[in-house]
Chain A
Amino acid sequence: MSQRWHGPLEPAGTCRWRIPETYRDFMRVPGLIYAHEDMLDALRQDQAPEQVAHVASLPGIVKASLAMPDIHYGYGFSIGGVAATDARDGVIVPGGIGYDINCGVRLLRSDLTKDEVSKHAEAVVNELYTSIPSGVGSRGPLRLDASALKRVLEKGAHWAVEEGYGEPDDLEYCEEGGCMEGAQETALSQRARKRGLSQQGTLGSGNHFLEMGIVDEVFDDKGARALDLFPDQVVFMVHSGSRGLGHQVCSDFLNVMGSAVKKYDIKIPDRQLACAPLASQEGQDYFAAMAAAANYAWANRQIMTHWVRQAVARALHQSAGECRLKLVYDVAHNIAKRETHTVDGEMQDLCVHRKGATRAFGPGRPEVPARYREWGQPVLVPGDMGTASYVLLGTQRAMEETFGSTCHGAGRRMSRTAAKKRVDGRQLKKDLASRGIFVRAGSAASLAEEAPDAYKDVHTVVTTVEQAGISRIVARLRPLGVVKG
């Protein structure tokens, strides 16, 4: 396990801890970690705060290297890391996005209530498990040819809807409308494209999941009404990303960036932070490839959404129309975006990296769907499979402090190896079933790795971002059934 971190954490306001710029010679800006005081001991248990300091060294970084309360040890960036670089002379960092480009989560609401569904919960989970390919290296019934893949990469979720996977309304409720501009298929290697041919419409493994849950408690009546959420309402979540195609893009460009740091004489404290100026050819090529991979991920979640609608209808012996599963929102939590933010009183064009962090735009931003604009952007924060997930809204404070960013999940606190040693997957499945949570997983081992005990307390994480003012808690969701990859 990584060594304990002994660096400075200075109080910087409610749930805010600063790593001063003077901590390391290479820091250009301070680090700022959002954490409750009770989290500090856990925060120091590994070198994640050192990674926050490392990110502060990036050329063109603006204001601070940020980390959300679900921070944990990553590679290059910490998980939960946010960094904005100046689009004119700053860098873009593949390690600030990660291997699973546009890993993200979407929430579907239904008109169904807990009472209508609870006795069918096991049937719904079984139907989801058999309808949607999941597990290690999962491949689905879709086989794209080169032409179709090109359209996926350039059109994202729009391609899926055009092909009959979902409803046109779905697109309005995705970040970027489910399609990032600037994507270029030609920016991907042949190997990356090959990996994309057979994995569209697949969940994958690891922490990816499908979940059926209910709205367990509403904390913000007006916010919940804006999102059409109500107590005991049945909801569904889909968590997946860009699969092997995204992994290959990241690996390919780490090689490119390895040479770019020498070419542009960029000094970095960790090779996983290899980068290039956004305006350089290498930076533009990476942005085009990353956007294409992000589009692949949006299409992937859109296709699975369609299959979720069909599976739920089959399990409940209804038509998909009767189930009325409507998309609340789809968020990306591993991505870099060109965004405009006010910095020191002036509008600035930035490249905002979110690595295990969620965009959380506040009220009034044009990027937020018109229906939600008065309230702020919905934020989806999955917890662990035995506890809860949360729906939040972005705030003006987030716009002012975090480039409109917040947490993305509970954050791991136990390694996968440790979780497998401590948790018996079969017993866990029984324990969860006894609490009314039906789980289907690829293997007992993969279930054990994702055990609730392996994660931090999601309540503390979302309470922290609310106390810090960078999000508002709207509702808590409780799982009824989970499909793990």
Chain B
Amino acid sequence: MIDSDRDHYTLLEHTADVKIRARGDSFALTLRHLAGGLFDILYDAAPAGEKNRRTLSVEAWDRASLVVNFLNELLYWIEEELIHPTAVNVLAVSDRGLTFILEWQEAQTPPAYEIKAATYHDLVVEDHLIEVVFDL
């Protein structure tokens, strides 16, 4: 989580779940801030250890599914690889593809939530605004 993300996302209430609204100066930055918001709600403790980076790609068939698939890719790595992601840097993005660098360190605690998935429900995807409901 980098400090600048914190100024660009808001947690919104949803009866059973968590909703994040992120804003950015570009679609790439909005995705980055959205990821920062996700990491921030998942971890209370700071990560530790060596900093790692990995380049990941997701494909989709429109922007909405690109956002959902991007977030679900992050959730997969968090759950399956037990990592604490700290930042996302978008390398390339179109309506159907996204390549990004995921930075992470060792998680000191498990995530605060077991998020099942990012959903399409009430999904808002614009260049400068994304709203996503996560199913807990």
- Kindly list chain B residues whose C-beta atoms are within 8 Å of the C-beta of A99: 116-117, 135
Asked if residues A271 and B15 are in contact (CB atoms below 8 Å), the reply is no
Provide the residues of chain A in CB contact with B76, threshold 8 Å: 191, 195, 248
A276 beta carbon closer than 8 Å to chain B: no
User: Is residue B80 within 8 Å, beta carbon to beta carbon, of the partner chain?
Assistant: yes
Candidates B11, B82, B113, B123; contact of A205 at CB < 8 Å: B113
Please name the residue on chain B nearest to A77 by beta carbon: B121
Cβ–Cβ < 8 Å partners of A255 in chain B = 60-61, 65, 69
- Check B112 against A445 for contact (C-beta < 8 Å): yes
B2 at the interface (CB under 8 A from A): no
For window 1-43 of chain A, which residues contact chain B by CB distance below 8 Å? 1-2
Nearest chain B residue, comparing its CB with the CB of A79: B16
A195, B120: Cβ atoms under 8 Å? no
- A124 CA to B77 CA, complexed, in Å: 35
Interface residues of B in 2-22 (CB under 8 A from A): 11-18
Complex Cα spacing A443 to B122, Å: 30
Give the residue name and chain of the A residue nearest to B76 (CB): A191
| Given known contacts A137-B114, A272-B121, A413 and B15 CB-to-CB distance under 8 angstroms | yes
- Across-interface contacts of B57 in A (CB, < 8 A): none
| CB within 8 Å of A: which B45-82 residues | 60-61, 64-65, 68-69, 72, 76, 79-80, 82
Contact stretch, chosen from A67-75, A322-330, A377-385, A462-470: A67-75
> What residues of A have a CB within 8 angstroms of the CB of B122 in the complex?
75
Please name the residue on chain A nearest to B118 by beta carbon.
Answer: A251
- Render B102-136 as a binary contact track against A, CB cut-off 8 A, 1 for contact: 00000000111110110111110000000001011
Chain B: number of interface residues, binned into ranges: 20 to 34
- CB contact under 8 A between A251 and B72, given known A137-B111, A258-B65, A271-B64: yes
Q: Which residues of A contact B69 (CB under 8 A)?
A: 255
Chain B residue with the shortest CB-CB distance to A258: B65
Most chain A Cβ neighbours within 10 Å, of B17, B119, B122, B123: B119
A136, B110: Cβ atoms under 8 Å?
yes
Q: Are A100 and B116 in contact (CB under 8 A)?
A: yes
Whether A251 lies near B110 (C-beta < 8 A) is no
Compute how far the CA of A386 lies from the CA of B47 in the bound complex, rounded to whole angstroms. 35
User: In the complex, how many angstroms separate the beta carbon of A407 from the nearest chain B beta carbon?
Assistant: 15
What's the least CB distance linking B38 to chain A, in Å? 14
A76-B121, A272-B121, A418-B13 as given contacts; A136 in contact with B113, CB under 8 Å: yes
Please measure, in the bound complex, the distance between the C-alpha atom of A416 and the C-alpha atom of B111, giving whole angstroms: 15
User: Least Cβ distance of A161 to chain B in Å?
Assistant: 27
**In angstroms, how far is the closest chain B Cβ from the Cβ of A176?**
23
Distance A248 CA – B69 CA, assembled complex (angstroms): 11
Q: How far is the CA of A131 from the CA of B89 in the complex (A)?
A: 41
Q: Is A367 in the interface zone, CB < 8 Å from B?
A: no
In the complex, the answer to whether B116 meets A415 with C-beta atoms within 8 Å is no
How far apart sit A119 and B28, CA to CA, in the bound complex (Å)?
A: 59
A314-371 residues at the B interface, CB under 8 angstroms: none
> Is A194 in the interface zone, CB < 8 Å from B?
yes
Please give the distance in Å from B116's CB to the nearest CB on chain A: 4
Are the CB atoms of A75 and B15 closer together than 8 Å?
Answer: no
Residues of A within 8 A of B18 (CB): 416-417
Query: In the complex, what residues of A have CB within 8 A of residue B135's CB?
Result: 75, 98-99
> Chain A CB within 10 Å — which of B60, B69, B76, B121 has the most?
B121
Q: Does A254 contact B (CB under 8 A)?
A: yes
- Tell me whether A250 is interfacial, beta carbon within 8 Å: yes
A2, B117: Cβ atoms closer than 8 Å: no
How far is it, in angstroms, between the C-alpha of A414 and the C-alpha of B13 when the chains are bound?
9
Given A73-B15, A137-B110, A204-B114, does the pair A259, B133 have CB atoms closer than 8 Å? no
B116 contact set on A, CB distance < 8 A: 99-100, 247, 250
Cβ-defined partner of B13 (8 Å) among A75, A204, A272, A417: A417
* Smallest CB separation, A129 vs chain B (Å): 15
Contact A412 B117 (CB under 8 A): no
B128 to chain A, nearest CB (A): 21
Within 8 A of B (CB), among A384-432: 412-418
A-B contact pairs, 15 of them (CB 8 A): A1-B12, A75-B119, A135-B110, A136-B110, A137-B111, A251-B68, A251-B72, A254-B120, A271-B64, A271-B123, A274-B120, A415-B16, A416-B136, A417-B18, A443-B112
* Interface contacts beyond A75-B120, A75-B121, A415-B13: sample of 19 additional A-B pairs, CB < 8 Å, sorted by A: A1-B15, A72-B15, A72-B16, A73-B16, A76-B119, A135-B110, A136-B113, A137-B110, A195-B79, A206-B136, A244-B79, A255-B65, A271-B64, A272-B119, A272-B121, A274-B120, A415-B15, A415-B17, A485-B114
Residues of A bordering B, CB below 8 Å: 1-2, 46, 72-76, 79, 98-100, 135-137, 191, 194-195, 204-206, 244, 247-248, 250-251, 254-255, 258-259, 270-272, 274, 412-418, 442-443, 445-446, 485
6 tightest A-B CB contacts, nearest first = A75-B121, A99-B116, A271-B120, A205-B114, A247-B116, A415-B13
